[in-house]
Chain A
Amino acid sequence: MKLLRDTWLIFQRQMLLVLRNPVWVVIGILQPLYFLLLFGPLLKDALQAPTAADAYRFFVPGLLVMLAMFGSMFVGFGLIAELRAGVIERSRVTPVSRLALMLGRSLRDVATLVVQALLITVLAIPFGLTVRVGDVLLAYLLLGLIGVMLSAASNALALKLRSEDALAPLMNGVAQPLLLLSGILLPLSGWVATVADFNPFSWAVNASRALFAGNPGDSSVWQALLIIGGLTALTLFWSARSFARSVR
């Protein structure tokens, strides 16, 4: 009960900050938007897709996973700024739940992510994207799990490193191979596809494509939910522990 109340309290404050300065929400969708407008048109020929709409139906589900990944991986920078301002320390001397300090922030990231995903989905409709409501909700659930996982991991690392100069190269170093090995930009083949099997986000991309193609029963869907769900639980546990420890 206290955990829920405290989480809601932190979430409210964090959302207030997002709404007060929503420019970051817009900046967050700029990257996928550029890909939609400037990379999408190349795909029909590159993929030898029968129509442009087919190419977008292949590309947009992956683009949403990319949005979830890049939108959440860098939230640790915000936490470092809060650490520096003394806001976290001020919270720590109160009896507020430590887990709530983390969960409230992760929920903010999920809320932001869902809004961004909606925007991208709606913007992709004129390009020929079609999807059923039930399927898109399931896809958003998958995106939400990715958001929680990566935002928790990013925050845990931020608590450990406590410096933007250390967090930035680490996150970039991880983000690029994860993106290239996910099959978001082009279909994977050869040895790269073999390596990509070890990338959980590649599974998420496959599931997202199955959902947007109207196949929620496809085995990739439950597999991805299982893999991403399990990893999310693990990361949450890790992050909660580092919050509890450095925050006692």
Chain B
Amino acid sequence: MIETKGLRKSFRSRQGRETKTVEAVRGVDLFVGEGEIFGFLGPNGAGKTTTLRMLATLIEPDGGEATIAGADLRRNPGEVRRRIGYVAQGGSTWDEVSAREELVLHARMYGIGKAEAQRRAVRALEAFQLTEFADRKCKTYSGGQRRRVDIALGIIHDPKVVFLDEPTTGLDPQSRAHMWDEIRRLRSEGVTVFVTTHYLEEADALCDRLAIMDYGEIVAEGTPDELKRDVAGDVVTVGLNGSTPEAAQLLDSEGYVNKLETVEGGLRLYVDQGSIAIPQILRKIDGAGLHLGTIELHRPSLDDVFLEKTGRSLRES
């Protein structure tokens, strides 16, 4: 649904008398499949928004190519606009008009007739649970309500792809969970969703696949599970009642154990895939007649992935 090759963009910024060229995006290759929720993860200033704005026809790339929903970004931005929706980070509604008025106008800017635009607005208001305050001015809405209007605007013309730039930033936990549901609902309706975030939990919980961006480049791409597996595999902690040395000897020679550490009260085993390793560990310990207390599986978090790929923690950056 989205395919990019070597997408580049640099900006010139002036600091005093010197002009500096900042390479915001340095050659991004991406593939996003139909009906996916694709996450774009990275710290502030990594180039996520610049990439998104290029894909949404808002800024012209310096180089590279992209095809979005079958339309060529460089040669035919007008057609791309018809097929995509875009929801900006900072909001898109005007204080003095109502959600309904915004929805109707926005639909009409896509060339949709007045009656049809009004029908679509009604449908969107219902879908996003905005009917109750549909005719109140946008300035009276809460942050979460206003963000829902933004998203409803972004999909009023039934786009094939929708770009959401940090849709949950600044929302309280409840509104955020609500927003995740909305995004999943879009996917269930067959819309491809391209979403940027700097929340690891969000990328993990929401995205089918994701790319991690840092300093204008993609440093990792895959499903959240793939990415995490890539890093260190899983960690299995086994609690043993007293017979730790024997168990260590027993398990050290097993092929699926990459590394073994003795910790207080038991062992820590680094394995490729915990779900496959755990039954084997259980059988081995049981077979030797040792007493097993507890067994726990830890998955590495996306923060570990980020740390491994960029050399720093996302939380710190």
Chain A positions within 8 Å of B, measured between CB atoms, are: 2, 6, 9, 13, 16-17, 20-21, 82, 85-87, 89-96, 248
* A85 near B109: Cβ-Cβ < 8 Å: no
* A86 near B82: Cβ-Cβ < 8 Å: no
Q: Kindly identify, within residues 287 to 306 of chain B, every residue whose CB is under 8 Å from any CB belonging to chain A.
A: none
State whether the Cβ of B176 lies closer than 8 Å to any Cβ in chain A: no
Q: Which residues of A sit under 8 angstroms from B97, Cβ to Cβ?
A: 13, 16-17, 20
State whether the Cβ of B183 lies closer than 8 Å to any Cβ in chain A: no
* B106 near A86: Cβ-Cβ < 8 Å: no
Q: Which residues of A sit under 8 angstroms from B81, Cβ to Cβ?
A: 93-95
17 A–B contact pairs at CB < 8 A?
A13-B97, A16-B97, A20-B97, A21-B96, A82-B94, A85-B95, A87-B92, A92-B58, A93-B85, A94-B81, A94-B106, A94-B110, A94-B157, A95-B78, A95-B81, A96-B109, A248-B57
A13 to B78, CA, bound (A): 23
* A95 near B95: Cβ-Cβ < 8 Å: no
* A86 near B88: Cβ-Cβ < 8 Å: yes
Q: Which residues of A sit under 8 angstroms from B70, Cβ to Cβ?
A: none
Q: How large is the interface on B (under 10, 10 to 19, 20 to 34, 35 or more residues)?
A: 20 to 34
* A90 near B82: Cβ-Cβ < 8 Å: no
A85-B91, A85-B94 known; A93-B105 Cβ under 8 A:
no
A21 to B137, CA, bound (A): 13
* A90 near B88: Cβ-Cβ < 8 Å: yes
State whether the Cβ of B86 lies closer than 8 Å to any Cβ in chain A: yes
Q: Which residues of B sit under 8 angstroms from A87, Cβ to Cβ?
A: 92-94
Extra contacts besides A13-B97, A90-B88 (7): CB < 8 Å? A2-B111, A9-B105, A16-B101, A17-B96, A85-B95, A86-B93, A248-B77
A9 to B59, CA, bound (A): 25
State whether the Cβ of B240 lies closer than 8 Å to any Cβ in chain A: no
A95 to B92, CA, bound (A): 16
* B110 near A86: Cβ-Cβ < 8 Å: no
Rank and list the top 5 A-B pairs by shortest CB-CB distance, nearest first.
A90-B92, A94-B109, A86-B92, A96-B109, A93-B86
Q: Which residues of B sit under 8 angstroms from A9, Cβ to Cβ?
A: 105, 108-109
State whether the Cβ of B203 lies closer than 8 Å to any Cβ in chain A: no
A92 to B88, CA, bound (A): 11
Shortest C-beta distance, B303 to chain A (Å), equals 31
Shortest C-beta distance, B268 to chain A (Å), equals 49
The 8 A CB mask of B44-76 against A (1 = contact, 0 = none) is 000000000000111110000000000000000
State whether the Cβ of B90 lies closer than 8 Å to any Cβ in chain A: yes
Contact of B91 among A2, A6, A86 (CB under 8 A): A86
A85 to B90, CA, bound (A): 7
A90 to B105, CA, bound (A): 11
A13 to B108, CA, bound (A): 11
Q: Which residues of B sit under 8 angstroms from A248, Cβ to Cβ?
A: 57-60, 77
A35 to B56, CA, bound (A): 50
Q: Kindly identify, within residues 198 to 244 of chain B, every residue whose CB is under 8 Å from any CB belonging to chain A.
A: none
Nearest-CB residue, chain A, relative to B110: A94
Shortest C-beta distance, B100 to chain A (Å), equals 12
* A95 near B94: Cβ-Cβ < 8 Å: no
* B84 near A93: Cβ-Cβ < 8 Å: yes
State whether the Cβ of B153 lies closer than 8 Å to any Cβ in chain A: yes
* A89 near B109: Cβ-Cβ < 8 Å: no
Of A2, A21, A90, A93, most B-chain CB atoms within 10 Å: A93
Nearest-CB residue, chain B, relative to A20: B96
* A95 near B82: Cβ-Cβ < 8 Å: yes
Nearest-CB residue, chain A, relative to B77: A248
A14 to B141, CA, bound (A): 22
* B90 near A95: Cβ-Cβ < 8 Å: no
A6-B109, A95-B81 known; A89-B92 Cβ under 8 A:
yes
Q: Which residues of B sit under 8 angstroms from A90, Cβ to Cβ?
A: 88, 92, 106, 153
A21 to B86, CA, bound (A): 30
Q: Which residues of B sit under 8 angstroms from A94, Cβ to Cβ?
A: 81, 106, 109-110, 157
Q: Which residues of B sit under 8 angstroms from A16, Cβ to Cβ?
A: 97, 101
Contact of B111 among A86, A92, A95 (CB under 8 A): A95
A87 to B96, CA, bound (A): 12
A248 to B97, CA, bound (A): 26
A208 to B174, CA, bound (A): 63
Q: Which residues of B sit under 8 angstroms from A95, Cβ to Cβ?
A: 78, 81-82, 109-111
Shortest C-beta distance, A233 to chain B (Å), equals 27
